[in-house]
Amino acid sequence: MKRTQSNNRLIQWIDERLPVFSYADHNVLAYPTPKNLNYWWNYGSIAGIVLVIMIVTGIFLAMNYQPHTDVAFASVERIVRDVNYGWLLRYLHMNGASMFFIVVYIHMFRGIYFGSYKAPREILWMVGVTIYVVMMATAFMGYVLPWGQMSFWGATVITNLFSAIPIIGDYIVTWVWGGFSVDVPTINRFFVWHYLLPAIILGLVIVHLWALHVHKSSNPLGIDIKTPQDMMPFHPYYTIKDLYGLGLFMIFFMYFVFFQPNFFGEADNYIPANPMVTPPHIVPEWYFLPFYAILRAIPDKLGGVVVMFAGVLILYVLPWLDTSKVRSATFRPIYKQLFWLFVANCLFLGWLGGKPTEGVYVIMTRLATGYYFAFFLVLMPLVGRLEKTKPLPNSIYEEVAKKCRAKED
Ligand code: HEM
């Protein structure tokens, strides 16, 4: 029985025994996709490509890296200076981490704007949040590996947060460190986790796509697919659109790799770690700054830690906090404004996270933290119930046809 669209006899022979080609036909080539996806739907596939780049460059870096406090810093310098194309591997990996977060943040904000987390895609969203949490852990441990000043002090400050937990806090910190300070066992275990977690992310991405393929992609109108006319095959329409987006993204990515490789980094991390000298400002990588700001907004250590983790974990319950029956913000005039204010507020929190905790910065950080939580806990549930939404279109197909006619006129 012929399962694939291909007439090639070898492909058919393999497919009868291991249906990889018919699987690809079904899930990639002929995969039914809404007709109206815009460029905000490119970021999922771009994230997938960045993940692959991170894993491949990471494997080659690991062939030359030494996870020991005596030589870790020097081994990274050796990679950059002496290993063939080591500079390229390191700059791809280093900037790739920032790119990964940029792409995933856009992907998440897209989800929040278009209500992609709403039924029946709650589990898809929650798997996404788990990917994000594991990404943060991976990035945190990766940053410790070059063993510069920021690596050491960042690791010391952040792991110390666990000591705020009553009774068992100090035990947890010693357990995480593998000793009584950030030292040889710490860097060694962080290297192990940093190598292992991306494989877990890859597994989670497979589950993410599995969940996506059950109900298929949502779309900018947020209305359900009703007839086959609303859809078109993924290939060639979205393969080409994704490739175009990927090309633009790669230009952006490569600009940093080749022209500004240290743009996202901290100069202090080019000083070897020194437990006897504390840098004047200990700042995490930019992608953690909003949460670092939230941590410092609360005057109490334990309170700060709890609120900071709550800031991430609240994303899990988003599908239930948003009470609106309408998915897309396109038809929600009030929510749309609040959403953009939320985006600006996140950027503002990020900026504040890099500022010292003094004077007016403290007040601004508290206000921004207040809006962050109010958006999820107060505004989303209330606006969802009270807002008067705009009328929804009848079908995706009608909207697409209307746009095409408008272009022709
Ligand atoms: C390694 C990281 C990730 C990869 C590779 C990935 C991959 C993808 C892909 C390929 C899609 C389909 C195309 C698209 O809609 O852009 C998608 C959809 C989606 N992703 Fe992700 N994703 C990642 C992380 C996340 C995170 C962190 C979240 C949320 C916290 C998330 C939530 C979603 C949602 C809700 C959809 C469905 C969107 C819709 O159809 O409207 N993803 N993802």
**pLDDT digits 0-9 by tens, 354-376:** 999 999 999 999 999 999 999 99
Q: Do residues 241 and 297 both lie within one domain? A: no
Residue 4's pLDDT band, with cuts at 50, 70 and 90, is confident
pLDDT for 1: 60
Q: Do residues 56 and 70 both lie within one domain? A: yes
Q: Which residue has the tokens 């609120």?
A: 307
Q: pLDDT tens digits for 173-187? A: 999 999 999 999 999
Q: Do residues 147 and 251 both lie within one domain? A: yes
Q: What is the CATH number of the domain that holds 94?
A: 1.20.810.10
Give the position, in ligand 1's atom list, of the atom nearest the Cα of 217: 40
Q: Is 82 a catalytic residue?
A: no
Nearest one of 98, 113, 2, 11 to 53, comparing CA atoms: 98
Are 109 and 100 spatial neighbours (Cβ–Cβ below 8 Å)?
no
Q: Is 279 touching ligand 1 by the criterion CB < 6 Å?
A: no
DSSP 6: -
For atom 18 of ligand 1, the residue with the nearest CA is 44
Residue 169 to residue 96: CA distance in whole angstroms: 34
Q: Is residue 159 part of a domain?
A: yes
Q: Is 183 a catalytic residue?
A: no
Q: Quick one: what percent of the chain has pLDDT higher than 70?
A: 100
Q: Do residues 160 and 302 both lie within one domain? A: no
Q: Do residues 266 and 402 both lie within one domain? A: yes
For atom 34 of ligand 1, the residue with the nearest CA is 125
Length of the chain: 409
For atom 6 of ligand 1, the residue with the nearest CA is 44
Phi-psi domain of 359 (left: phi exceeds 0; alpha: psi -120 through 50; beta: other): left
Provide φ and ψ at 33, rounded to 5°.
-130, 140
Q: Is residue 15 part of a domain?
A: no
Q: Do residues 373 and 403 both lie within one domain? A: no
| Probe residue for ligand 1, chosen from 37, 41, 42, 107 as the CB with the greatest number of ligand atoms within 8 Å | 107
Q: Is residue 162 part of a domain?
A: yes
Q: Is residue 306 part of a domain?
A: yes
Ligand 1 centroid from CA 216, angstroms: 12
Residue numbers of the domain that contains 247: 33-284+323-332+389-408
- Which residues are within 8 A (CB) of 382 and not within 5 positions of it... i.e. 6 or more apart? none
| Probe residue for ligand 1, chosen from 27, 39, 208 as the CB with the greatest number of ligand atoms within 8 Å | 208
User: Catalytic: which of 242, 266, 387, 399?
Assistant: 242
Q: pLDDT tens digits for 285-324? A: 999 999 999 999 999 999 999 999 999 999 999 999 999 9
Q: pLDDT tens digits for 131-168? A: 999 999 999 999 999 999 999 999 999 999 999 999 99
Report residue 406 as tokens: 């408008």
**On the CB side of 143, how many CA atoms lie within 13 Å of its CA?**
29
pTM confidence score = 0.96
Mark out the alpha helices in 65-121 (DSSP H runs).
Answer: 72-81, 86-114
Q: Is residue 3 part of a domain?
A: no
Residue 276 to residue 272: CA distance in whole angstroms: 12
Interior/surface letters 268-302, b for 16+ CB within 10 angstroms, e for the rest: bbeebbeeeeebeebbbbbbbbbbbbbbbbbeeee
Q: Do residues 106 and 227 both lie within one domain? A: yes
pLDDT for 408: 86
Q: Do residues 268 and 344 both lie within one domain? A: no
Interior/surface letters 388-397, b for 16+ CB within 10 angstroms, e for the rest: ebeebbebbb
Q: Is residue 27 part of a domain?
A: no
Q: pLDDT tens digits for 196-254? A: 999 999 999 999 999 999 999 999 999 999 999 999 999 999 999 999 999 999 999 99
Q: Is residue 347 part of a domain?
A: yes
Residue 325 to residue 334: CA distance in whole angstroms: 14
Q: Do residues 217 and 342 both lie within one domain? A: no
Q: Do residues 232 and 244 both lie within one domain? A: yes
Q: Do residues 233 and 375 both lie within one domain? A: no
Angle at 123 between CA 117 and CA 124, to 5 degrees: 65
Q: Do residues 236 and 357 both lie within one domain? A: no
Are 336 and 329 spatial neighbours (Cβ–Cβ below 8 Å)?
yes
Ligand 1 centroid from CA 289, angstroms: 23
Q: Is 91 touching ligand 1 by the criterion CB < 6 Å?
A: no
Q: pLDDT tens digits for 63-110? A: 999 999 999 999 999 999 999 999 999 999 999 999 999 999 999 999
Q: What number of other Cβ atoms are within 10 A of residue 167's Cβ?
A: 6
Q: Is residue 344 part of a domain?
A: yes
The distance from CA 130 to its chain's CA centroid, rounded to whole angstroms, is: 10
Number of structural domains (the chain) is 2
